[in-house]
Amino acid sequence: MLLGVIGSRFGDAGLIELAVKSNVVAEGSVDKALKLDPNQEEFERVMNSHEFREFGDQFHVCVQGMEEKGSFLGRFWLSYLELCELMLNLTYASHTGSWELYLSCIEEVIPWAFECDRQNYARYLIPFLDDLRHLPVRMSKVYTAFSKGHFSVQLGAVILSNEAVKTIENTINRDCKTGGGYIGFSANFAATQRLVLNDTT
């Protein structure tokens, strides 16, 4: 959903054209440049370097100045950074089971859903968040489990986790696509109904 918001807000803003025309990347290499997968050791070395910390401090000062006195275009691109940070925080919260961070991110997503005309998300995220906020009162055991990070699950022996809802969806889809699933006859309404009623897996 957040990728859709970012795409609808910045898709025609000229980021790719700017990178190409300024000779930062070649036109045929844009996708590759946007999908860099840096070496973990090299990434950690750069992140922990004095130069990077110094750059981070300077960038923070620059961002503060733009927020206070920057142009409309400058603040527009700051919202891009804000959305990317929100997406990364939401992904991190889902993968690590950080419950409070997850709730905070969902709350931040709602205004963007309204602004970018994502009507279904704008409509249903509010009661969804309300239900989650009231878990300590309505379902204390569930809240205790979720606050310990058990709202995220793993499909296998992998470090990163997935949201439980996504994992359930993936499991159902995989079950339906295996032998005896509905691939091949799902266009037939009666056959699909029989499968749903008789499936005991």
In-domain check, residue 48: no
Cα–Cα distance between 79 and 15 in angstroms, integer? Answer: 14
In which residue ranges of the chain is pLDDT below 70?
A: 1, 7, 11-12, 15-16, 18-19, 22-43, 154-169, 172, 175-188, 192, 195-196, 198-201
At 31 the pLDDT is 57
pLDDT, position 126: 92
Quick one: 104 and 149 in the same domain?
A: yes
Q: Is residue 46 part of a domain?
A: no
Task: Indicate the pTM of the whole model.
Answer: 0.62
**CA-based end-to-end distance of the chain:** 30
* Interior angle at CA 126, CA 122 and CA 132, nearest 5: 140
pLDDT of 42: 67
Domain span including residue 126: 1-30+63-153
Hey, which bits of 34-142 come out as E strands?
A: none
